Amino acid sequence: MTTNIEAQYDVIVVGAGPAGSVAARIAAENGLKTLMIEKRQEIGAPVRCAEAVGGEVTKQYIEPDERWINAHIDFYDIVNTRNDRVRVPPTEHTWVVDRKVFDLELAHCAMRVGAKVMTSTAATGLVKEDGRVVGVEIRHIGRVQRVGAKLVIAADGTESQVARWAGLKTVPPMSDYYSGAQYLLGGLKGKFEPNVCEYHVGASIAPGGYVWVFPKGDDLANVGLVMSADRSAEISPRDYLDRFAAQHYPDSSVMSVVVGGIPATGALKRMVTDGLMVVGDAAHQADPLTAGGINLGMFGADMAMTTGVKAIRGGDVSAKALQPYETLWAERFGKQHAALLQIRKMLTGMSEDVFNGLIRTAASLPLDTMTPGQVLMALFKSHPRMLLEAGTLIKTGLILK
């Protein structure tokens, strides 16, 4: 077998989503010769996302631009199936973005500081030497070549095969994988508030998940749902979404369709191997409760490159030298995500009646004048059955505080 490497880079990033582009930008900014490849013909398309991001986090990685900000969000509404709603302020200012423009701009940021970007370029294999990853076999519109790299960043999304080729365990349990569908609905004038993201929760509308309504400006909104993949065999997310749309927005138009899966396990235990790091959805870094992953992927890429740049400069890209990345992640998000996973399991196990009752009670409370403790006490008083879940709630409440 010929073993010719046709080009040599310091870093090859596989996948040009937000995590990949942030990783490529940081690598290039640090003077590393960087290549970022994207399998699809176009960066950011087709969209596979509900498109909500935290403003403060996003600003750390990209200059805000109204070209890709579709809506500014001031409140989240949690809605039960009887249409009671609890309004809460987001933990930070939230934007609903246009991923097509947003992703392209992020990739452009990487390119401007020196990273080379190639679309229609798939990774078809990893080049290994004595078990270590030393490059990527790529296929650009039918032409296959091997490209060498000191460090490979797998940012190839939920279906990551690069991480698997590297020998990492990535297959999630079905109960911790979200299956989802979303429509960009048009013609919704007056059907939603332009600065409010809605979360509809109930086993009858999205078993083991939820429905979201995120404003996209004018009369447009992303209306989508995720449900637990172990419950989607009989009735698909697409069918649940059709039901919801027919019930709430009977006269709407479907302006675009998005389907997909999201890991909701919390990050992989092993995110590095010799010569390779995994970031973003490929590393299961999405929020295990909401499945939001844009900001978390950017954080992951940042942490990976903090370690990766040092490793390359030190001339040691072994798994041991790359491991601090896993520690950085665990310290920042480990406990938080474990708690969010517990909350999801609790919600999944809760009957729709109990949840409806909780939201109805909470909707009647002056939440903005109460501490979280007072809210919990009030809920316990009206819903003693909830005491069964009290241990989990209090524990997770403390961790998230």
Residues near other proteins (CB under 8 A): 1-5, 39-41, 46, 48, 120, 122, 125-130, 134, 137, 146, 157-161, 164-166, 170-175, 177, 179-181, 207, 229-238, 257-261, 263
- Closer residue to other proteins (CB): 31 or 173: 173
Least separation in angstroms between CB 345 and other proteins: 14
- Dist. CA 320–CA 314, nearest whole Å: 13
- Dist. CA 383–CA 389, nearest whole Å: 11
Q: Which two tokens stand for residue 94?
A: 């939230």
- Dist. CA 35–CA 16, nearest whole Å: 10
- Closer residue to other proteins (CB): 142 or 314: 142
- Closer residue to other proteins (CB): 238 or 383: 238
- Closer residue to other proteins (CB): 235 or 388: 235
Least separation in angstroms between CB 155 and other proteins: 14
Burial class (CB in 10 A: 0-12, 13-18, 19+), 233: exposed
Least separation in angstroms between CB 88 and other proteins: 28
- Dist. CA 238–CA 243, nearest whole Å: 9
- Closer residue to other proteins (CB): 68 or 165: 165
Residue labelled with tokens 């490209």: 147
Q: Among 232, 225, 218, 236, which residue's Cα sits nearest to residue 183?
A: 225
- Dist. CA 212–CA 50, nearest whole Å: 8
Least separation in angstroms between CB 341 and other proteins: 15
Give the strand pairing for 143-154 and 276-278.
Answer: parallel
- Dist. CA 228–CA 177, nearest whole Å: 6
Least separation in angstroms between CB 182 and other proteins: 9
Least separation in angstroms between CB 41 and other proteins: 8
Q: Which two tokens stand for residue 85?
A: 């709603």
DSSP letter string, 99-165: HHHHHHHHHHHHHHTT-EEESSEEEEEEEEETTEEEEEEEEETTEEEEEEEEEEEE---TT-SHHHH
Least separation in angstroms between CB 87 and other proteins: 30
- Closer residue to other proteins (CB): 94 or 222: 222
- Closer residue to other proteins (CB): 78 or 271: 271
- Closer residue to other proteins (CB): 204 or 371: 204
Least separation in angstroms between CB 63 and other proteins: 30
Burial class (CB in 10 A: 0-12, 13-18, 19+), 366: exposed
CB 210 within 8 A of CB 199: yes
- Closer residue to other proteins (CB): 80 or 158: 158
Least separation in angstroms between CB 275 and other proteins: 12
